[in-house]
C-alpha cells in the first residue's frame, strides 16, 4: 500500500501500513449506530488509531463490554477481533475468566458509568483488586442513555435531567475507587481531547495489569446541556490537563526534546515509556518545573507515582468541582492475577490433552489414598 516517492518529487505520503503489515481500515469496525456526535464514537476512533499505531494484531485482542450505549461500541472498532457483549455490569468477570484461559490476549473492556458505577461496582472493584490484565475504559456521561435518561452513579450532585429531575446524591468517582483498590494505572480524559485519549490508550494497552481510563464522553441526546459537567461545553471550558502525554514504544527511538526537569518518564515493564510533560501554565525560568494551573490560580505539580498525591488531587478536584484530566496514578509493582495464579507462559487453552490430564501414576496414587 505504500507509495514510493519519485526522485525530486513531493515527499512520500505517510506510510499506510504498520509493522504488523496492516493498514488503518484493518482496525475499523462496523458503522456506529450511536447518536451522531456521541463521545463514544470519538473514543472508538482513538482505539482504532492507537491499535494501528502500536501495530497490534487484531486477532490477539478481545473486546468486552456489558450493557449500555458504551457497551455497544466494541462493535464499532477492531472487526478482526473477537468480541463479547455480556450482561449488565458483569463484564469484569468475563474478562477475568478469559484472561485466565488465554494470557496471551490483550483485553479491551468498554463500560459505562451505569455499567461500572452502579450494577457493576462490585465486579469493578474485584477486578481491580485482582489486577486482571486489561484495558478498562469507562465511557462516562453521567446518564443512562439506552433507557433514555436516568441518573447514573457518577451524575454530579445537583445535576438536572429532563425527566429525572435534580440529582441529590453524591457522585461516585471511579478513578478514586480504582486508586483505593490499588489499581496501578488510573487516568481520566475527555472524549473531545483526541490526542490525550490516544496517548493514554497506547500507554494503557502497554501496561501489564488493569489500566483504568475514565473518559468523560458526553451524551448528546440526554446530557449535553451547558450546565452538565459531562457535556462538551463544560469539558472544553473546564478541562485542566495534568500533563502533555506522549507514549513512546520501546522500538522507536525518540529523542526527548523537552527541557530537563520538565519531563517525567514512566517506564513500562516491557520497554515502552510514557513521557509526561507538565503543561505550561505559567512562564518560568529555564529548567523550572512547570505545573498545571488550577481554577484558583495555583500551580499544581502532580507526581503520578505518588498514590496519596493522586488521591488528594482527586479529592480536591471533587470539592472544587474541577475537571482534571491526565495520568493520575501509575504503579507497576503489583503482581497481576495471572502472576498470583502462577500460570505458565503457555496459555491454558493452548495446553495439549496430555497436559490437561494427570499422569496415570499421579492418578493411581491419589485414588490409593481412599482405599
Partner 1 sequence: MSTAAVDTAPRAVGLDPNRDPVNDFSIVAATVNGSGSQTANSTLIRALFKMGIPVNGKNLFPSNISGLPTWYTIRVSKDGYIARRDTTEVLIAFNQQTAAQDLAALPVGGVCLYPEDAKFERSRDDVTYYPLPVKKMIADLGVDKKLVDRVANMVYVGALAQLLGIEREAIREALSYYLGGKQKAVELNYNVVVASADWARDNLPKQDPFRVERMDKTEGLILIDGNTAAGIGALVGGMTVTAWYPITPATSLADALNEYAPKLRKDPKTDQPTYAIVQAEDEIAAIGMVLGAGWMGARAMTSTSGPGISLMTEFVGFGYFAEVPGVIWDVMRMGPSTGLPTRVSQGDVLKAYYLGHGDVRNICLLPGNVQECFEFGQTAFDLAERLQQPVLVLSDLDLGMNNWMTRPFEYPTTPLDRGKVLDAEQLKQMENWGRYKDVDGDGIPYRTLPGNENPMASYFTRGSGHNENAGYTERPDDWIKNMARLARKHETARTIVPKPVVDRREGAKVGIIGYGSTDPAIVEARDRLHSQLGLETSYMRLRALPLGEEVRQFVAEYDRVYVIELNSDGQMHKLLQLHTPEYATKLVSMAHNDGLPLTPRLVTDQINEMEQTR
Q: Does 360 bind partner 1 (CB under 8 A)?
A: yes
Q: In this complex, which beta carbon is closest to partner 1, that of residue 128 or of residue 266?
A: 128
Cβ-based burial of 172 (10 A; exposed 0-12, middle 13-18, buried ≥19): middle
Minimum CB distance to partner 1, residue 17 (Å): 16
The site map against partner 1 for 246-285 (x = CB under 8 A) is ----------------------------------------
Write out the chain in H/E/C secondary structure. Answer: CCCCCCCCCCCCCCCCECCCCCEHHHHECCCCCCCCCCHHHHHHHHHHHHHHHCCCCHHHEEEEECCCHHHHHHHHECCCCEEEECCCCCHHHHHHHHHHHCCCCEEEEEEEHHHHHCCCHHHHHHHHHHCCCEEEEEEECCEECCCCCEECCCCCCCCEECCCEECCCCCCCHHHHHHHCCCCEEEEEECCCHHHHHHHHHHHHCCCCEEEEEEECCCCCCCCCCCCCCCHHHHHHHEEECEEEEEECCCCCCCCCCCCCCEEEEECCCCCEEEEEECCCCCCCCCCCCCEECCCCCEECCCCCCHHHHHHHHHHHHHCCCEEEEEEEECCCCCCHHHHCCCCCCCHHHCCHHHHCCCHHHHHHHHHCCC
Nearest CB to partner 1, comparing residues 168 and 361 = 361
Nearer to partner 1, 57 or 277 (CB): 57
Q: Is residue 4 a contact residue for partner 1 (CB under 8 A)?
A: no
Q: Is 36 in the site for partner 1 (CB under 8 A)?
A: no
Q: How far is the CB of 113 from partner 1 (least distance, A)?
A: 20
Question: Any contact of residue 20 with partner 1 (CB under 8 A)?
Answer: no
Nearer to partner 1 among residue 130 and residue 198 (C-beta): 130
Report d(CA 298, CA 158) in Å as an integer.
26
> Residue 362, interface with partner 1 (CB under 8 A)?
yes
Count of residues interacting with partner 1 (CB under 8 A): 59
- Asked if 94 interacts with partner 1 (CB under 8 A), we say yes
**Among residues 15, 250, 254, 349, which is the contact residue for partner 1, using CB under 8 A?**
349
The binder of partner 1 chosen from 24, 80, 277, 334 (CB under 8 A): 80
Of the residues 18, 23, 35, 126, which one makes contact with partner 1 according to CB under 8 A? 126
Q: Would you count residue 81 as binding partner 1 (CB under 8 A)? A: yes
Q: Examine residue 157 and tell whether it contacts partner 1 (CB under 8 A).
A: no
Among 217-225, 257-265, 321-329, 340-348, the segment contacting partner 1 (CB under 8 A): 340-348
Q: How far is the CB of 307 from partner 1 (least distance, A)?
A: 23
C-alpha to C-alpha distance for 83 and 61, rounded to whole angstroms: 9
Restricting to residues 223-252, which ones interact with partner 1 according to CB under 8 A? none
- 123 binds partner 1 per the rule CB under 8 A: yes
**Least distance in Å: CB of 51 to partner 1?**
14
Interface residues toward partner 1, by CB under 8 A: 57-60, 62, 74-75, 79-87, 90, 92-102, 104-105, 122-123, 126, 130, 337, 341-344, 347-349, 351, 353, 355-360, 362-367, 369-371
Amino acid at each position: 500500500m505504500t507509495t514510493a516517492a519519485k526522485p525530486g518529487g513531493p515527499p512520500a505520503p505517510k506510510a499506510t501500513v504498520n509493522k504488523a503489515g496492516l493498514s488503518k481500515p484493518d482496525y475499523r469496525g462496523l458503522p456506529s449506530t450511536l447518536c451522531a456526535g456521541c463521545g463514544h464514537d470519538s473514543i472508538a476512533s482513538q482505539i482504532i488509531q492507537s491499535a494501528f499505531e502500536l501495530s497490534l494484531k487484531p486477532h490477539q485482542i478481545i473486546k468486552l463490554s456489558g450493557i449500555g450505549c458504551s457497551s455497544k461500541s466494541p462493535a464499532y472498532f477492531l472487526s478482526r477481533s473477537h468480541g463479547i457483549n455480556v450482561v449488565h455490569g458483569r463484564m469484569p468477570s468475563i474478562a477475568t475468566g478469559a484472561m485466565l484461559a488465554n494470557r496471551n490476549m490483550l483485553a479491551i473492556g468498554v463500560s459505562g458509568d451505569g455499567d461500572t458505577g452502579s450494577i457493576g461496582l462490585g465486579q469493578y472493584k474485584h477486578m481491580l483488586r485482582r489486577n486482571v490484565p486489561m484495558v478498562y475504559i469507562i465511557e462516562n456521561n453521567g446518564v443512562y442513555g439506552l433507557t433514555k435518561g436516568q441518573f447514573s452513579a457518577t451524575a454530579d450532585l445537583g445535576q438536572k435531567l429532563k425527566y429525572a429531575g435534580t440529582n441529590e446524591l453524591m457522585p461516585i468517582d471511579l478513578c478514586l475507587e480504582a486508586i483505593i483498590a490499588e489499581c496501578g494505572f488510573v487516568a481520566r480524559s475527555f472524549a473531545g481531547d483526541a490526542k490525550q485519549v490516544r496517548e493514554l490508550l497506547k500507554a494503557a494497552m502497554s501496561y501489564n495489569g488493569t489500566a483504568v481510563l475514565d473518559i468523560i464522553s458526553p451524551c448528546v441526546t440526554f446530557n449535553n446541556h451547558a450546565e452538565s459537567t459531562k457535556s462538551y461545553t463544560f469539558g472544553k471550558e473546564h478541562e485542566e490537563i495534568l500533563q502533555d502525554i506522549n507514549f513512546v514504544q520501546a522500538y522507536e527511538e525518540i529523542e526527548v526534546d523537552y527541557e530537563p526537569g520538565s519531563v517525567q518518564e514512566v517506564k513500562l515493564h516491557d520497554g515502552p515509556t510514557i513521557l509526561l510533560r507538565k503543561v505550561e501554565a505559567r512562564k518560568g525560568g529555564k529548567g523550572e518545573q512547570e505545573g498545571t494551573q488550577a481554577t484558583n490560580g495555583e500551580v499544581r505539580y502532580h507526581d503520578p507515582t505518588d498514590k496519596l498525591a493522586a488521591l488528594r488531587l482527586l479529592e480536591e478536584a471533587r470539592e472544587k468541582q474541577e475537571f482534571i484530566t491526565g495520568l493520575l496514578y501509575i504503579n507497576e509493582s503489583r503482581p497481576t492475577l495471572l502472576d498470583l495464579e502462577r500460570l505458565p507462559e503457555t496459555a491454558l487453552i493452548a495446553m495439549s490433552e496430555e497436559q490437561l490430564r494427570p499422569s496415570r501414576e499421579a492418578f493411581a496414587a491419589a485414588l490409593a489414598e481412599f482405599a
